[in-house]
Amino acid sequence: MSSLIETKPKKGGILISQPLINDDYFHNSVVFLSEYSKEGVVGFIVNKPLRFSINDLIDDFPQFDTTVYYGGPVEASNLYFIHRVPNKIKGSIPITNELYWGGNFGQIKDLILTDQLSPNDIRFFLGYSGWEETQLNEEIAKNSWIVDKLKDTLFEWNIKKLWKDCIKDTNTDFQLWVNAPKDIRLN
């Protein structure tokens, strides 16, 4: 991570919630943007693991040791996925040269059953984060988000420290706030 911050969000970039953002969904969140266009913005919160597995959500899913993440408040009962094996999953939508989202869900099951897909190749999300382009730009102008570019691959991040690491690397003015509780009155 570097101290140079992007100023405009873009597909394949990240949004880092500002310290002390007063929002239950996005407090201390890092959002990976999978789509950014005039039609809208779609992203997934990548640092909020849920306490259940994909096998808890889908009865007929093959045993697969992976975490499901809270992707955001939009369509929170739907399952989405980001992966890095587009040659194995038809219908994959490119995000970056290495990352894709969506595709044929049935193929995922087959790939797991034949040991052709590992938990290091795919991330599952319940729900997504979405904005109209102008809505996100307004939130950025109000300092709700720090816009940055993806510096490491999604699959190698230390999820437990991701938000703090991003804040420390993007803005030294926030060093003091990285350990603050959600409600600073409790400090």
Report the pLDDT value the prediction gives residue 175, as an integer from 0 to 100: 58
Residue with tokens 């007929």: 60
Report the pLDDT value the prediction gives residue 178, as an integer from 0 to 100: 55
pLDDT-flagged residues of the chain (< 70): 1-6, 171-187
DSSP state letters, 4-54: ---SS--TTEEEEEPTT---TTTTT-EEEEEEEETTEEEEEE-S-EEEEEH
Residue of 60, 71, 66, 74 whose CA lies nearest to 105: 60
Report the pLDDT value the prediction gives residue 112, as an integer from 0 to 100: 96
Report the pLDDT value the prediction gives residue 176, as an integer from 0 to 100: 53
Instruction: Tell me the domains of the chain and their CATH numbers.
Output: 13-186 (3.40.1740.10)
Cβ–Cβ < 8 Å for 31, 12: no
Report the pLDDT value the prediction gives residue 156, as an integer from 0 to 100: 82
